[in-house]
Structure 1
Amino acid sequence: MTENITVGLVDDHVLLRNGLAALVRNIGHQVVIEASDGKDFIQKLENGIEPQVVLMDINMPQMDGYETAGWLKQNRPDVKVLALSMYDDEAAIIRMLKNGARGYILKDSDTPELKSAIEAVLSKGFYYTEMITGKLLHTINQSDDEGATRKVLNLNDRELEFLKLSCSEMTYKEIADKMHLSPRTIDGYRDSLFEKLKIKTRVGLAIYAIKHGIVHV
């Protein structure tokens, strides 16, 4: 077990932040920064304290989670970001992943899941939930390129195009319009990729594509 991980909390809801801080301490880790938004967090980083993992809300005033995660990716790449979400919002989570987040956790998660998320994002690089299973768990930490991925999984050009578009904020209907295909055909591509990659959700597809360089962030 990874012990005494240093953790930052970035959330504009004080009661929630205080509750998270107590939970983090109860599972044996250290809260070194608490901030109300991205701007506040970056200012506190300038004091020389850099947490290993940051639990970061998405919607915040002044500087939201998307912008803050992107800033950290460029300026403090060793800080691992776990997105905090009130809802299982695919578009928001995918956008956070593209901006450098290493996973996400719902705000109503229980203590064991919070513990698993913090420790996994530091030790494995990503936090996996039931949305990602099978082949991805064995390959996600290995380097790959689009050609190798295509060869191993036998993805055709249209499936690769769909996979890339799935990492955007477009709805499935908008993807169908973009590809000049029917929604039923798009559903077929989605189900085919779910089966080939052993993945259950669109967020899982996005993590796979980002990690394997099929989309560049």
Structure 2
Amino acid sequence: MKADIALVDDHALLRSGLASLLKDFGYTILFEADNGARMQEKLKANPLPKVILMDINMPVMDGIESTLWLKQHYPQVKVLALSMLDEEGTIIAMIRNGAKGYILKDCDPEELDTAITAVLEKDFYHSELISRKLIQGLSNGWDEKQGQGTRKWPFSEKEMEFINHFCTELSYKEIAAKLKISPRTVEDHSATIQQKMEVKTRIGLVLFAVKNGLVKL
């Protein structure tokens, strides 16, 4: 048998289909829950799963909040986000809160199996949403034993402030309104920081910041 899995999703029919599929792949389903609060109850009553497949939009306690709770209380349990949402802000929030990968619900069954295996064996799944090239670029200067960057990144105090804002769910327009500056100024700062990080997207910026300890989670 493969690893022990748990499913957290508020759609019972989808959970049932996922459970059947994963069993066919050789996984053991330890439990299912329809929101994060129920997940907490199930964790107390069952052995710990190796991986939890986590939906985002759920009542009571959503996937973003649930993933952060798991990171704080059960860091050994890996979260793979499985959602219909492909918005940048949602992906950023899940990765920042500790998700080890993010895939869409309309993916092929084989990709789901591949993603779970990658999370178990490599600690992260590089999907089209979070490209392998991007993640590999983040590893420069990262000392996993020390848990912090070994390089001193050339970011000013102002740029560090922007990095912290970029690592939130706020859009550039919302960041601009909060700082009382123009959206164009925010975009310019983002472009400059991305160039220094040698990444090409905001998601890349966030992953770089998280991986290198530039933001407090």
What is the TM-score with the length of structure 2 in the denominator?
A: 0.83
Offset at 1:108? 1.1
Tell me the distance in 1 between the aligned counterparts of 2:63 and 2:101: 13
Does 2:42 match 1:44? yes
Does 2:74 match 1:71? no
Tell me the distance in 2 between the aligned counterparts of 1:149 and 1:134: 22
| Deviation per residue, 1:7-31 (Å, 9 max, x gap) | 1101010111112212222333222
**Secondary structure at 2:214's aligned position in 1?**
coil
Tell me the distance in 1 between the aligned counterparts of 2:135 and 2:44: 37
Does 2:151 match 1:173? no
- In the other structure, the counterpart of 1:33 is 31
- Counterpart residue type for residue 151 of structure 2: A
Contact 1:133 1:198 in 2 (8 A): no
Tell me the distance in 1 between the aligned counterparts of 2:133 and 2:152: 15
Residue 15 (structure 2) aligned to one of 9, 14, 17: 17
| Deviation per residue, 1:106-162 (Å, 9 max, x gap) | 111112221222111222222222334436315177446467251xxx444444332
Structure 1 residues 42 and 164: CA distance shift in structure 2, 3 A: same
Uncovered stretches (5+) of structure 2, i.e. residues with no partner: none
- Counterpart residue type for residue 97 of structure 2: N
- Aligned-residue CA RMSD (Å): 2.6
**Secondary structure at 2:26's aligned position in 1?**
coil
| Residue correspondences, number | 212
Structure 1 residues 61 and 177: CA distance shift in structure 2, 3 A: closer
- In the other structure, the counterpart of 1:212 is 212
- In the other structure, the counterpart of 2:151 is 148
Offset at 1:33? 1.3
- Counterpart residue type for residue 18 of structure 1: S
Q: What is the aligned-residue identity percentage? A: 45
Contact 1:9 1:35 in 2 (8 A): yes
Tell me the distance in 1 between the aligned counterparts of 2:143 and 2:121: 15
**Secondary structure at 2:124's aligned position in 1?**
coil
